[in-house]
A and B are shown apart, each in its own frame.
Chain A
Amino acid sequence: MPDSEQRLIADARRGSREARGELFALHWRDAWRTARAVCGDDQRAQDIAQEALVQAVTKLGRFDGRRPFGAWLRRIVVNQAIDTTRRDRRLIGLDAASDLAAEGFADWEPGLASAVRALPADRRALVALRYGLDLTPPEIAEAMGLQVGTVHSRLARALAELRQRLEVTDVR
């Protein structure tokens, strides 16, 4: 982590609004992109990234200063996005949730988009981070709090599930 960012974090811990603002400017865009990749919806991504940044800044006391702030923030964003996706499915129903998320997946080939949407939230996040944001397995492991080996095995399971789903045509 650069010295300047360490100084910002130290200042933000002491309550400096300017330091918080600079931390925000540094990480807001990446947080939003991560949230959008996982939840597939611009507006929900805004809420998720906003909540995650607020959480991160207000809980800076728990942050281990030896590690990169961006990776810590990404972990909060991913957890928030997974929680939001699960809650949406529970409250809205899968079909309507898919409709709401259509914008984020609008450019995907149709069968692929619905297969990815139908994955469980944590596997969908894995796929989004790996193939949507091109994160490496170690980066994903850090973002999701998993072992690297677990990332590999879960990715393999997610791909197998996708292949299986893609062989079946939806009938409505």
Chain B
Amino acid sequence: MVADLETRLRLARPAESEPTPEATDRALRALSRRRRGRARSAVAWVARTPRGRLLGVAVLLAAGGTGVAATLLPGGGGQAPPVDRGAVTAAWGPEFAVAPVFPRGEFPKPVAVMDTSGAVFVAWSRGRRIEVRRRPPGGPWEPTTRLSGIGVGTARPQVAFTDGGRAAVVVWRERIGGRVIRRVLRLPDGSVAGVIERRVGARYVVVARRWSTATGWGPRVQVSADSSGNRRDMADLAVLGRPGGAFLVAWPNRDRIQTRVLAADGGLTDVQEISPARAGEVADPVLVDRDGSPLLVFAHRERPVPSHDGTVLAVSADGTGWGRPVEVGAGLVLNERPVVATRGPRVVVAWASRSTGTHMGIMVSEQAGGRWSSAARISSPTREAFSPGAGLDRTGTAVVTWSVGAATQISTRLPAGSWTAPTGVSRAGLTGSLSPEANPVASTGDGDLVLALGARDGIRVADWRGGRLVRSVPAASSTGWQFGYSAIVAAPTGSAALLVTTYRAGRSGISVIVREPAGLGRDKEGR
């Protein structure tokens, strides 16, 4: 039965909500202040003076067209930061299929990195073999290179740049040995009903291949010793470029994280181990550079698995090795890897967390001055939230985004402020709760951020510059929401690349949409 319009309007109204305590305090303080001293919310700074409006119109006219009107979210006004006109004019190109067709049943999980010049490396596992593709600044895409052999059962790779983009490495897990056992299931009449296959006795190893502009791809290097055969061992890897052309690789191996440096000359340092104080299993390592030193964030879960009880741990390295892991927060959800953003000495870690009987929420913890803050929930307690993204901009503002069912939401925090209430910035979630992907907040490396946001028919991309969203444009369409997003990367040149997983006629593929500033034009096919 179709309800009448008035009933539909009443049924459809949003759930009741309350002003946040921060907003209440701010409004109360505003009662006793003169006009210019009153604080307002971060996203609600809009032009309120004739001068500000004129500035907004002037920028609009200078940018040339009504299409740019949508880019001037909060524009003008005394508090408005300058708009980087060069970057605003950089346009997103068309989708380019870097890996058009995957075998049926395979769902690609590509990874990407962008160096400071805007060159992109994309890596993925197809048919259990590792493939990569590179695009230099200005394009076009180089041919696909296959890095691994047959029958080694590779898992999702990781990739990193160093040395100003002159060197890169791809690391992945390979399977060693084992045999497949098959059990045939038969119906009472003797006919075959099905076959169950399972591989037993396999062990795993982490391997890497280096690339450089001078020598191309180097030989396969075994980075780790054999694992014990636990299928979760080395399933998620992390790699970080270090000065001098070296790479730091981290992998989980049962109850500890192991790390090793792959030097520029191809040599390997001794394996270092990080063991949490409590027994359990480690997973999901994330390596970032914090003020010139590596910082490792990982998940720790107490047995028995599966369990949603877990903790996020962080450990930093000095000249002599890794320190003692510190607990950043608790309540980690199994299928979500924490996201980490750094700028100078500051670190923001965000993760999805669920306690029994509650909606999954987004938790954050920050480190500044050597101390971690208490973990805080920043998403609404009444809505399921997942797939966090995190970034720190040049003003020191922390930006965290996440998906809910029908919106991508954002919360921000000034260096000396508190987290703003969740605000919707697009009309669809970017990913589903079961398909978390790479951090959707990409840092350009010089203090600006590029955000991937969900849209019902694809993906929108917004720039975060000078403490505010200045651009929201469609970058990918017809991907189908919750299936499209894979990763976003950016460079200080204004270049950025969005990785999209496509799904057409029962087969998956990988497409990339690249944005480049004027002067680095694409070829006619958008490559």
Q: Which of A's residues lie within 8 Å of B, judged by CB?
A: 17, 20-21, 24, 28-29, 32-33, 36-37, 40-47, 49-50, 53-54, 57, 87-88, 91-93, 95-96, 98-110, 112-113, 116, 127, 131-132, 134, 159, 162-163, 166, 172
- A88 close to B46 (CB less than 8 A): yes
Subset of 29 A-B contacts with CB under 8 Å = A21-B28, A41-B423, A42-B19, A42-B422, A43-B42, A46-B23, A46-B44, A47-B41, A49-B19, A49-B27, A50-B27, A50-B40, A53-B27, A92-B73, A99-B427, A99-B460, A99-B472, A100-B43, A102-B406, A103-B425, A104-B424, A106-B424, A106-B427, A107-B13, A108-B14, A110-B456, A132-B14, A162-B9, A166-B5
B265 within 8 A of partner (CB): no
Most chain A CB atoms below 10 A, which of B18, B31, B409 = B31
- Report if B421 contacts A (CB, 8 A): yes
Q: Does B502 contact A (CB under 8 A)?
A: no
Given contacts A47-B41, A53-B31, A54-B30, contact A107 B406 (CB under 8 A): yes
State which of B30, B56, B406, B472 has its C-beta within 8 Å of the C-beta of A91: B56
Residues of A within 8 A of B76 (CB): 91
Interfacial chain B residues near A91, Cβ < 8 Å: 46-47, 53, 56, 72, 75-76
Contact with A along B238-265 (1 / 0, CB 8 A): 0000000000000000000000000000
Asked whether A42 and B17 contact (CB < 8 A) given A28-B27, A162-B5, the answer is yes
Chain B contact-residue range equals 35 or more
CB distance from B411 to the nearest CB of A (A): 10
| Chain B residues, CB < 8 A from A104 | 14, 424
| Option from A32, A54, A93 in Cβ contact (under 8 Å) with B66 | A93
Is B32's beta carbon under 8 Å from chain A?
Answer: yes
Per the 8 Å Cβ criterion, residues 159-179 of B in contact with A are none
- What 3 pairs across the A-B complex have the smallest Cβ distances? A103-B424, A131-B9, A93-B69
12 A-B pairs besides A96-B73, A106-B407 with CB distance below 8 A are A45-B19, A47-B41, A50-B26, A91-B46, A91-B76, A96-B472, A103-B422, A108-B12, A108-B14, A116-B9, A132-B14, A162-B9
* B400-428 CB contacts (< 8 Å) to partner A: 404-407, 409, 420-427
A165–B46 Cα gap in the complex (Å)?
Answer: 29
User: Is the CB–CB distance between A43 and B16 below 8 Å?
Assistant: no
**Docked-complex contact A29 and B18, CB < 8 angstroms:** yes
Q: Is the CB of B23 within 8 A of A32?
A: yes
Q: Which of B14, B56, B456 has the most CB of A within 10 A?
A: B14
Whether A42 touches B421, Cβ cut-off 8 Å, given contacts A29-B18, A50-B30, A91-B72, is: yes
The CA of A113 and the CA of B406, in the complex, are separated in Å by: 12
Interface residues of B in 50-78 (CB under 8 A from A): 53, 56, 66, 69-76
**Closest-CB distance, B2 to chain A (whole angstroms):** 11
Given contacts A46-B44, A159-B5, A96 and B421 within 8 Å (CB-CB): no
Chain B interfacial positions (CB closer than 8 Å to A): 5-6, 8-10, 12-20, 23-24, 26-28, 30-32, 38, 40-44, 46-47, 53, 56, 66, 69-76, 404-407, 409, 420-427, 456-457, 460, 472
Contacts of B472 in A (CB 8 A): 96, 99
Check A112–B8 contact: CB distance below 8 A. Answer: yes
CA A17 to CA B8, docked complex, whole Å: 44
Chain A residues with CB under 8 Å of B9's CB are: 112, 116, 127, 131-132, 162
Q: Which residues of B contact A46 (CB under 8 A)?
A: 19-20, 23, 26-27, 40-41, 44, 421
Tell me, in angstroms, the Cα distance from A76 to B23 when the chains sit together: 19
Closest to B427 in A: A102
B70–A44 touching, CB < 8 Å = no
Q: Determine the chain B residues whose CB is within 8 A of the CB of A21 once the complex forms.
A: 28, 31
Q: Is the CB of A54 within 8 A of B69?
A: no
Q: Bound complex: CA of A91 vs CA of B57, how far in Å?
A: 8
A162: B residues at CB distance < 8 A: 5, 9
Known: A42-B422, A50-B30. A132 touches B13 (CB 8 A): yes
